C-alpha cells in the first residue's frame, strides 16, 4: 500500500475526509500552492490541482483540493466504503 492511499484511508477513518462518491463539481487547474486534502503535501506550483466543491448546503459543504492521484484514490476509497456499507 502506498503512502498516499494509507494517508487518505486514515483521514476518512478520522472523519477528516467525507465519503462522497458523487462530487458536485470538480475543477482542474494550476496549483495555487495549497495543501492536498488527501496526503497533506503541498501541491507544487507546476502541478495541476483538482478542486472538488461539495455544495449541498449541509455540514460537509466546502471544497477539497487534491493531487490528481490523490483524487483518484479518494474516489476509489469512497466507492469501496459505500459498497461495503450497502452490503451490510
Ligand atoms: Zn495528495
pLDDT reported for residue 40: 93
Between the CA of 88 and the centroid of ligand 1 the distance, in Å, is: 31
Between the CA of 7 and the centroid of ligand 1 the distance, in Å, is: 9
pLDDT reported for residue 88: 54
Q: Are 36 and 65 in contact (CB under 8 A)?
A: yes
pLDDT reported for residue 23: 62
Between the CA of 66 and the centroid of ligand 1 the distance, in Å, is: 5
Between the CA of 13 and the centroid of ligand 1 the distance, in Å, is: 17
Angle between helices 3-13 and 68-86 (to 10 degrees): 50
CATH of 3-80, one of 2.10.25, 3.30.70, 3.30.1740, 1.10.287: 3.30.1740
Dist CA 35 CA 46 (whole Å) = 14
pLDDT tens, N- to C-terminus, the chain (88 residues): 689 999 999 999 999 998 876 666 788 999 989 999 999 999 999 999 999 987 766 666 778 999 999 999 999 999 999 887 655 5
Which residues fall within 8 angstroms of residue 3, CB to CB, at 6 or more apart?
39
Amino acid at each position: 500500500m502506498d503512502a498516499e492511499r494509507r494517508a487518505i484511508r486514515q483521514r476518512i477513518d478520522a472523519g477528516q475526509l467525507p465519503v462522497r462518491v458523487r462530487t458536485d463539481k470538480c475543477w482542474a487547474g494550476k496549483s495555487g500552492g495549497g495543501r492536498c486534502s488527501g496526503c497533506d503535501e503541498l501541491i507544487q506550483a507546476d502541478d495541476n490541482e483538482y478542486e472538488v466543491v461539495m455544495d449541498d448546503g449541509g455540514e460537509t459543504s466546502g471544497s477539497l483540493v487534491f493531487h490528481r492521484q490523490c483524487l483518484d484514490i479518494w474516489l476509489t476509497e469512497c466507492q469501496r466504503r459505500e459498497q461495503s456499507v450497502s452490503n451490510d
